[in-house]
A and B are shown apart, each in its own frame.
Chain A
Amino acid sequence: QVQLVESGGGVVQPGRSLRLSCAASGFTFSSYDMHWVRQAPGKGLEWVAVISYDGSNKYYAGSVKGRFTISRDKSKNTLYLQMSSLRVEDTAVYYCVKVRSSYYFDYWGQGTLVTVSS
């Protein structure tokens, strides 16, 4: 069955960097676009970034563009999110998400909490 397991979250000071990882299994990782979606404490969902199945296309939400970088390693079946210049408002649970038919989020990881605080 599809499994997505995020890791790398934690407490980090504003302005610092952090890298999240998502280990994927149970499906052909290299055949699917992958996303990161986040949820601030007590708030709604916010789309963060997408990477195409082959890594050739990457797009970001305006709130993170220029600070976050999405990437993938097909040899490790792993998705990454490199976050730099972190802000207090980046505090959220970050979910790794697989897509169905390119446009819908059909499998979600359990999420990893990133807290940006001094």
Chain B
Amino acid sequence: QSALTQPASVSGSPGQSITISCTGTSSDVGNSNLVSWYQQHPGKAPKLMIYEDSERPSGVSNRFSGSKSGNTASLTISGLQAEDEADYYCCSYAGTNTWDWVFGGGTKLTVL
């Protein structure tokens, strides 16, 4: 199973919006609504930010939103804040005859 494709880096100024894309195939991202997104600050464990393509866990700011079209999922962060600077990873369930998960390569978000 190949890793999902994400841009290596994105940047934005405080208050702006950014979008991170995550491209897979019809066997993973495009197969069902099972994409999730994780935020990871340096030296910390990842944190679930979005699940089922576009759902937010309780406690996650509504500035974070997810969407999907075909084989590409997207994470949008609006009203950028300094604390949003982190690495972001998408993940998709990719199992057909087995259980399998695949992550994206990660995107470094820099808040200018």
Contacts and interface: CB of A to CB of B under 8 A. Distances in A.
B1 A62 contact: yes
Contacts of B30: none
Interface in A85-118: 95, 100-101, 103-106, 108-111
Interface stretch (B16-24, B68-76, B78-86, B95-103): B95-103
Nearest to B95: A59
B45 interface: yes
B57 A44 contact: no
A105 B99 contact: no
Interface residues of A, number: 21
A44 B89 contact: yes
Interface of A: 35, 44-47, 50, 57, 59, 61-62, 95, 100-101, 103-106, 108-111
A53 to B, nearest CB: 13
Given A57-B99, A95-B45, A105-B91, 9 more contacts: A45-B89, A45-B91, A45-B103, A47-B100, A47-B101, A61-B100, A100-B57, A103-B51, A106-B48
A77 to B, nearest CB: 19
8 contacts: A44-B106, A45-B38, A47-B91, A50-B99, A100-B57, A104-B51, A105-B38, A105-B91
B15 interface: no
A95 B43 CA distance: 12
A95 B46 CA distance: 9
A44 B1 CA distance: 15
